[in-house]
Amino acid sequence: MSSKRYRQGIFKPKNSSKFIGNKAIYRSGLELKFFRFCDDNKNVLKWSSEDIVVPYISPVDNRVHRYFVDNFIVIKEGDAVKKYLVEIKPYRQTKPPTTKYKKKQHIIYEQKQWAVNTSKWKSARQFAKKQGWEFILITEKDLK
């Protein structure tokens, strides 16, 4: 049974010359909305989906894992051309979890996810900085 909450599929860019990658696989409606933004925006020069892999150490098991950053984007901002690693998340997942009205099992899961995500984002920021890029989180609030 599929959930109507989650949209998944392969995005076919209209402006395929801007897409640098194998496939644009979206795993949520937010990602699909961002893909459309990249495809339609004349200031987006190049973009890719899950092509940049950043190693990070998970605080859950203290081992190195691979973080496939949602997107890489090259965008013209005024006279400058900037490069970004972009993670797309629902806004509620970009803040530490709350314990209000939740079962213990759910609280533990959310705390682990938060710890792993913040570790990924820290590694992505460091990786991007070394490349002269910037790492950003984009939520539904940014995609209005």
Domains in the chain (CATH in brackets) are 9-138 (3.40.1350)
Tens digits of pLDDT across the chain (144 residues) = 344 556 899 999 999 999 998 899 999 999 999 999 999 999 999 999 999 999 999 999 999 999 999 999 999 999 999 999 999 999 999 999 887 767 888 888 899 999 999 999 999 999 999 999 999 999 999 998
Specify the length of the chain in residues: 144
Q: DSSP 3-state assignment of 58?
A: coil
pTM: 0.90
Task: Determine the Cα–Cα distance for residues 110 and 87; give it in Å rounded to an integer.
Answer: 18
